[in-house]
Amino acid sequence: GLDSLVGITTSFKMTTTNNTTTSKKSGPQSSTNWSITSSPLFTVLGSENSSPTAIQSFHSPLTSLRGLVVTTDEPICSLHIVLSTESNGGHHNNNWHHPHDGLPHTLEHLVFLGSQTHPHKGVLDKLANRCMADGTNAWTATDHTAYTLSTAGSEGAINLLPIFADHVLFPTITDAGFVTEVHHINGQGENKGVVYCEMQGRENSEGSLVDRACMELLYPTGSCGYSAETGGKMENLRTLTVDKVRRYHREYYTPDNTILVLTGNVEGEEFFKALDEVEALILKRREEGQQKDGGGGVSAEEKEGYRVGRPWIDSPIPPMVVGKGVYPPYDPSRADNDASMAPLSISFPSEDESRGTISIAWRGPSYQSKKEWNH
């Protein structure tokens, strides 16, 4: 309504360097003076857009929330909310969880059960269907978790962006939701739960066993997320608690670790308004938390467990240990039957005893040595 437009002021400063434009702009709902970087589209298939603002990135100096919009000619608009997630056992803070607990994966499931603003399961998908989308989706990878939505046209994606972000950043994570979605024991004494049954179907498969063995050889200690089973091992899921999931959310699902990406036939200004609505919600929740803290209402469990440093960037990468399954650097003087050259054998259940898998893997150079890549 007109009431929401009263008192809104917008400031705009712009500087240009080559093909990149940087500017400052005040949010219409928050008090944030956003940093905006714009550039023309480059080598994006299926687009003829040559506008100098076809790609715009947004950064909040208050919360470090980031947004990226890529304007193309495609009728389907895709929204991705991406967070850097790492299952490293909490090595930075008294090893408070096990790398195989599957915290990134279990949290991904619980996000869809409701948010503080919309605390009911199914609301997100019902709204997505009304926005000309085929529902919402998500995946958990080794180094990130992504929440996705695709709509016909941009209006639906823009309208749902703040609601989707509310679920991701401020989920309910209830005790009942954890029991149903992650793990419980039914009346017949069977282990059940959506996450548990999903991992039960793949933990002892040929591909999963070989992959786990390779990762544990490449990254041999429990303090590196690359060797972790981010989906969760059944043994760990049976003892996992909802409090650990809540703590993991506090550590990793923070604005400075989140980026919202929208691509398709969308206006950058519309995306900016929706992104700023998310920023305003974050600032509101932050103020509510400070008031709660000032009133002595925050528990010790809530106060502890905030992330130290950036995921992956500040995590140590252990050296490989030469031994069974890990070949030493090439040495022409070494005998072919050297014991250090023995491969690691992994057994897996199969109805066909004639089949097997050979997996060869190696670690590439570190990012810090990127200057040496171009040779």
The rounded distance, in Å, linking the Cα atoms of 280 and 170 is 13
User: What pLDDT sits at residue 308?
Assistant: 67
User: What pLDDT sits at residue 68?
Assistant: 96
User: What pLDDT sits at residue 49?
Assistant: 52
Other CB atoms within 10 Å distance of the CB of residue 153? 15
The rounded distance, in Å, linking the Cα atoms of 111 and 195 is 13
Say what the pTM is: 0.85
- What residue spans define the domains of the chain? 21-293
Rounded mean pLDDT for each run of 10 residues along the chain, 375 residues in total = 30 51 92 90 53 87 95 91 90 79 95 94 89 90 95 93 96 96 95 95 89 89 84 94 95 95 93 96 91 54 61 83 80 67 83 86 79 67
User: What pLDDT sits at residue 150?
Assistant: 94
Could you give the residue ranges of the DSSP H alpha helices within the chain? Answer: 103-111, 123-130, 154-169, 175-181, 194-200, 206-218, 234-237, 242-252, 268-294, 300-303
User: What pLDDT sits at residue 322?
Assistant: 81
Which of 161, 207, 177 is closest to 106 using CA atoms?
177
Which of 236, 269, 241, 305 is closest to 110 using CA atoms?
241
3-state secondary structure of 70: strand
Q: Around 330, how many Cα atoms within 13 Å sit in the side-chain half-sphere?
A: 1
User: What pLDDT sits at residue 115?
Assistant: 95
Contact in structure between 226 and 142 (CB atoms under 8 Å): yes
Residue 128 DSSP class: H
CATH superfamily of 21-293: Metalloenzyme, LuxS/M16 peptidase-like (3.30.830.10)
The rounded distance, in Å, linking the Cα atoms of 57 and 41 is 12
